[in-house]
Amino acid sequence: MKERLEELKQEALEKVSKSENVQSLKDVRVEYLGKKGPITEVLRGMGKLSKEERPVIGQLANEVRESIAAAIDTKQTRLEDEELEKQLEAESIDVTLPGRPVRVGGPHLLTSIVEEIEDLFIGMGFEIKEGPEVETDYYNFEALNLPKGHPARDMQDSFYITEELLLRTHTSPVQARTMGQKDGNEPVKMICPGKVYRRDTDDATHSHQFTQLEGLLVDKHVRMSDLKGVLNAFAKQMFGAERDIRLRPSFFPFTEPSVEMDISCKVCEGKGCSVCKGTGWIEILGAGMVHPNVLEMAGYDPKEYSGFAFGMGPERIAMLKYGVDDIRNFYTNDIRFLEQYHKA
Burial class of residue 60 in the structure, from the number of CB atoms within 10 Å of its CB (0-12 exposed, 13-18 middle, 19+ buried) = middle
Query: How far apart are the two ends of the chain, measured CA to CA in Å?
Result: 91
User: Are 308 and 224 within 8 A, CB to CB?
Assistant: yes
Known binding residues for Mg(2+) are 256
d(CA 165, CA 334): 34
Known binding residues are 256
Residues 269, 273, 274: CA angle, nearest 5 degrees: 140
d(CA 156, CA 49): 110
Burial class of residue 132 in the structure, from the number of CB atoms within 10 Å of its CB (0-12 exposed, 13-18 middle, 19+ buried) = middle
Cα–Cα distances in Å, from 288 out to 31, 141, 308? 99, 17, 6
d(CA 137, CA 128): 23
In sequence order, what E strands does 137-234 have? 165-167, 188-197, 209-219
